[in-house]
C-alpha cells in the first residue's frame, strides 16, 4: 500500500487500491444515500475549484459547525484541504459566545453550518464578527447561502489545473487544521495539527486494527467528527476502504445499528455504561431460571481474562453463556460487530471484560487533541491486549514517565503548537517531549496505565494526595449514581457531589413501594434515597485508603449535561464550573 503524505491523498489512494460504491453513506429523508469513492473525489474537486474562484488564499481559515456527522462534512474537508486552506471544526453544542471566541481567534473568513438551529445560534454573534465574509449551510435555510451554489460555481473544470498546482505545493508539515480543545477550564486552545501529525497517527494506528482494505467492513460513526478522535478514525477507515455510515443521532443509534449492521465502531465510556445499564435493567425484569441464567452469564463475563487464561472449563461455560445470553447483546448491536474502540475518558475494566466476553471486543486507547490523538491502544492480536491498561504506545511514538509520574511523549503525531500562544506551547513541549498532564505507569510488558489527570489530583489540608478520577470511576459502577465528582482540594477530607441516576431510582422506589416524590429536586432531598446512596458510597469506599474515602456527599437536584455546561462535548466533567454551580452544596459539606 502506497503511503499518503497529505490528508487529501487518502481518497485518491482508496480510488486506486480498493474503490467503494458506498465510501460514505448518510440517511437523508429516511433513506440511506450512498456516495462512491469517485463521486466523493469529484465533489471535493468541484468544491476546490469554487473556493479558488472565490479567491480563497493559502492558509485561509474555513470553519464548519455541524450538529451531526454527514457526507457533506467529509467532502468539504477534502475540498478545503486541497487548496491549502484550513478546516476549523467547531463543537455544535458550545455556547454562542464560544462560537464567537473561536471564529475571532482563528480569524475564520467563512463558516459552513449544518442546519437552522446552528445558523440561528451563530447569528446571535454574527454582528460582532467583522472577519466573517459569508455563511453557507448544508441544509436549505431561508436567508442563508446554500453550499450547493458552490457546486454550480465549481462545475466548470477549466481551473482544475490550478487546484492541482495548489495540491502539489502542499507539504506534509503544512498546517491542516486548528482544533479547539473543549477545555475543562478556561478558554479553549487552538491546537495546530499538520497533515503529517494526523497522517502519522493514521499510519501508526493502522497497525493496531485487525482488518484490511479487502474486508469490505462497514463502520457506524456517531462520535462528533469535530473531535480529533473520530476525525482521525474517519481518515483511517478511508485508508482501509471501510464504508462509513454516518449515524443520524445518538437517539436513533439502536435503529441505525440494526439497519447498518456495522463491523466496527468507536465509542466513549459513557455510551458503553448506558448500553450496559439498559441490558442490566432488562435482566432484572426476568424471573425464575431465566433470571438465574442471566446473572450467571454476567458473573462469568466479569471474570473474563483474554487469551484463555481462565482455562478450558471457563471457556466451555462462556461458550454456553454466549449462546444463551450474550448472542442477544450482539443482535442488539446489529449482529456483526467485531470491534469497539473506546477513547476520550477512562473505561471501567468490568465493561471491557463483559463486552469482550460477550464477543464484542473493546479496545481502549489513550491520547489527546495535541497528539493527533492516539498515543497508545490495545490490540487483540499478538498478546497486545491487557485489561485495565490503554495498550502499548504506537510504534512511531516514544513514551516515557517523568519523575513525578507524568506521561511524556515524542513523535510525528505531536502538534505544531497552540495557535497564537508560543508561551503555552513552550510550557507543554519542554525538553523535546509533550507533557500530557496525565499520570501513569508503563508496566514491565510495555503497557501504559493511566492513573489520573495531574491537574485534577489534589491535596487535602492533611497533605494527602487524592486521585479523583479513579474514585469516580469505581463509584459510577453503582446503578444509583449517574455522575460523581470527588472534591476536597485544601479541605480536611475528600467528599463528593453526586448526580443520582433519577431514572433508575424511580424504578427502584416503585419496586420497593417507596414514596420519594416526583421531581428531581424531591428525589435528591429524599431521606430514603440519601440513605441508599450512602450505602453504595460506603461499599465502594472499602476499596480505598482511609485518606481517599469519600466522607460526605451531597446530591445535586438536576441532570449534568453538555447543554447545562457541567460536561464538555466529550462528556468530561467541567470541575470548576460544577463547584461554582453547586457552591451551596459545597459549603454545606465543608462549612456547616
What are 267's strand-pairing partners? 342
181-185, 233-237, 475-479, 492-496: segment of lowest average pLDDT: 181-185
pLDDT at residue number 24: 98
* pLDDT over 70 (residue 94): yes
Output phi, psi for 401, to 5 deg: -105, 125
Domain boundary among 207, 240, 265: 265
Residue 119 maps to a domain: yes
Confidence at 344, pLDDT banded by 50, 70, 90 = confident
Q: Is 143 exposed, middle or buried (0-12, 13-18, 19+ CB in 10 A)?
A: exposed
DSSP 322: I
Please give the tally of structural domains in the chain: 2
Residue 333 maps to a domain: no
DSSP 154: T
Average pLDDT over residues 575-585: 92
Task: Return the beta strands (E) in 443-585 as ranges.
Answer: 448-453, 458-459, 465-466, 481-487, 495-500, 552-555
Domain boundary among 246, 265, 284: 265
Output the nine-digit C-alpha cell for 287: 424471573
State how beta strands 362-367 and 264-267 pair: unpaired
Domain boundary among 245, 265, 285: 265
Predicted TM-score (pTM) of the model is: 0.88
Q: What CATH number is associated with residue 483?
A: 3.30.300.30
Q: Is 299 exposed, middle or buried (0-12, 13-18, 19+ CB in 10 A)?
A: exposed
pLDDT at residue number 292: 96
C-alpha 391/C-alpha 81 separation (Å) is 32
pLDDT at residue number 1: 55
Residue 418 maps to a domain: no
Output the nine-digit C-alpha cell for 476: 459510577
Task: State the maximum Cα–Cα separation within the chain, in Å, rounded to a whole number.
Answer: 76
Residues 6+ apart with CB under 8 A from 79: 43, 44, 45, 46, 47, 48, 50, 51
Q: Is 350 exposed, middle or buried (0-12, 13-18, 19+ CB in 10 A)?
A: middle
Output the nine-digit C-alpha cell for 33: 444515500
In this structure, the dihedral spanned by the alpha carbons of residues 45, 50, 55 and 60, taken in order and rounded to 10 degrees, is -50
Output the nine-digit C-alpha cell for 355: 463486552
Can you give 535-568 as a three-state secondary structure string?
A: HHHHHHHCCCCHHHCCCEEEECCCCCCCCCCCEC
Residue 213 maps to a domain: yes
175-229 confidence digits (pLDDT tens): 999 999 865 556 789 999 999 999 999 999 999 988 887 888 999 999 999 999 9
pLDDT at residue number 411: 97
Residues 6+ apart with CB under 8 A from 128: 100
Indicate the SS3 state at residue 349: helix
Residue 94 maps to a domain: yes
Residue 219 maps to a domain: yes
Can you give 197-249 as a three-state secondary structure string?
A: HHHHHHHHHHCCCCCCCCCCCEEEECCCCCCHHHHHHHHHHHHCCCEEEECCC
Angle between helices 312-321 and 288-302 (to 10 degrees): 130
By the 8 A CB rule, do 397 and 413 touch?
Answer: yes
Average pLDDT over residues 518-547: 92
* pLDDT over 90 (residue 459): no
Q: Residue 538's closest CA among 528, 552, 527?
A: 552
210-214, 287-291, 526-530: segment of lowest average pLDDT: 210-214
* pLDDT over 70 (residue 442): yes
Q: What CATH number is associated with residue 32?
A: 3.40.50.12780
Output the nine-digit C-alpha cell for 341: 474502540
Residue 276 maps to a domain: no
Containing structural domain, residue 505: 458-591
Amino acid at each position: 500500500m502506497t503511503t499518503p503524505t497529505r490528508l487529501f491523498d487518502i481518497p485518491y489512494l482508496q480510488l486506486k487500491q480498493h474503490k467503494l460504491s458506498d465510501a460514505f453513506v448518510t440517511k437523508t429523508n429516511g433513506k440511506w444515500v450512498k456516495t462512491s469513492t469517485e463521486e466523493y473525489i469529484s465533489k471535493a474537486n468541484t468544491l476546490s475549484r469554487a473556493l479558488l474562484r472565490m479567491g480563497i488564499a493559502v492558509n485561509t481559515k474555513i470553519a464548519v459547525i455541524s450538529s451531526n456527522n454527514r457526507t457533506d462534512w467529509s467532502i468539504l474537508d477534502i475540498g478545503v484541504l486541497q487548496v491549502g486552506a484550513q478546516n476549523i471544526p467547531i463543537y455544535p453544542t458550545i455556547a454562542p459566545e464560544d462560537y464567537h471566541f473561536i471564529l475571532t481567534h482563528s480569524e475564520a473568513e467563512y463558516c459552513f453550518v449544518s442546519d437552522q438551529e446552528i445558523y440561528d445560534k451563530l447569528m446571535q454573534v454574527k454582528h460582532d464578527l467583522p472577519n466573517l465574509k459569508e455563511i453557507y449551510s448544508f441544509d436549505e435555510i431561508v436567508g442563508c447561502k446554500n453550499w450547493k451554489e458552490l457546486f454550480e460555481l465549481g462545475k466548470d473544470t477549466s481551473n482544475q489545473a490550478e487546484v492541482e498546482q495548489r495540491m502539489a505545493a502542499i507539504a506534509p508539515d503544512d498546517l491542516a487544521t486548528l482544533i479547539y480543545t473543549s477545555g475543562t477550564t478556561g478558554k479553549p486552545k487552538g491546537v495546530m495539527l499538520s497533515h503529517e501529525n494526523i497522517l502519522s497517527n493514521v499510519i501508526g494506528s493502522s497497525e493496531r486494527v485487525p482488518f484490511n482494505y479487502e474486508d469490505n467492513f462497514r463502520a457506524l460513526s456517531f462520535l462528533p467528527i469535530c473531535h480529533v478522535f473520530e476525525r482521525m478514525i474517519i481518515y483511517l477507515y478511508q485508508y482501509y476502504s471501510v464504508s462509513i455510515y454516518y449515524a443520524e443521532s445518538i437517539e436513533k443509534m439502536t435503529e441505525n445499528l440494526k439497519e447498518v449492521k456495522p463491523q466496527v465502531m468507536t465509542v466513549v465510556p459513557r455510551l458503553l455504561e448506558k448500553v450496559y445499564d439498559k441490558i442490566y435493567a432488562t435482566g432484572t425484569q426476568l424471573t425464575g431460571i431465566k433470571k438465574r441464567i442471566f446473572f450467571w452469564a454476567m458473573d462469568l463475563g466479569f471474570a473474563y481474562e483474554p487469551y484463555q487464561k481462565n482455562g478450558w472449563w471457563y471457556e466451555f461455560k462462556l461458550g454456553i453463556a454466549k449462546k444463551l445470553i450474550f448472542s442477544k447483546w450482539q443482535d442488539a448491536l446489529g449482529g456483526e460487530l467485531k470491534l469497539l474502540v473506546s477513547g476520550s475518558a477512562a473505561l471501567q475494566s468490568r465493561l471491557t471484560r463483559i463486552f469482550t466476553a460477550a464477543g464484542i471486543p473493546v479496545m481502549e486507547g489513550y491520547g489527546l487533541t495535541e497528539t493527533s490523538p492516539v498515543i497508545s491502544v490495545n490490540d487483540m492480536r499478538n498478546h497486545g491486549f491487557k485489561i485495565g491498561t490503554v495498550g502499548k504506545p504506537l510504534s512511531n511514538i516514544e513514551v516515557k514517565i517523568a519523575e513525578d509520574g507524568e506521561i511524556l511523549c515524542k513523535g510525528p503525531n505531536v502538534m505544531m503548537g497552540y495557535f497564537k500562544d508560543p508561551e503555552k506551547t513552550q510550557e507543554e513541549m519542554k525538553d523535546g517531549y509533550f507533557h500530557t498532564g496525565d499520570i501513569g505507569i508503563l508496566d514491565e510488558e510495555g503497557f501504559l496505565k493511566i492513573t489520573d489527570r495531574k491537574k485534577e489530583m489534589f491535596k487535602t489540608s492533611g497533605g494527602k494526595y487524592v486521585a479523583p478520577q479513579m474514585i469516580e470511576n469505581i463509584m459510577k459502577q453503582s446503578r444509583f449514581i449517574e455522575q460523581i465528582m470527588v472534591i476536597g482540594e485544601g479541605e480536611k477530607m475528600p467528599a463528593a457531589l453526586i448526580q443520582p441516576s433519577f431514572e433508575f431510582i424511580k424504578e427502584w422506589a416503585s419496586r420497593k413501594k417507596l414514596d420519594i416524590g416526583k421531581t428531581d429536586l424531591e428525589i435528591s432531598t429524599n431521606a430514603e434515597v440519601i440513605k441508599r446512596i450512602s450505602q453504595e458510597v460506603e461499599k465502594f469506599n472499602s476499596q480505598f485508603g482511609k485518606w481517599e474515602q469519600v466522607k460526605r456527599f451531597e446530591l445535586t437536584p438536576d441532570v449534568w449535561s453538555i447543554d447545562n455546561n457541567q460536561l464538555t462535548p466529550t462528556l468530561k466533567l467541567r470541575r470548576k464550573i460544577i463547584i461554582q454551580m453547586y457552591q451551596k452544596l459545597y459549603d454545606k459539606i465543608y462549612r456547616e
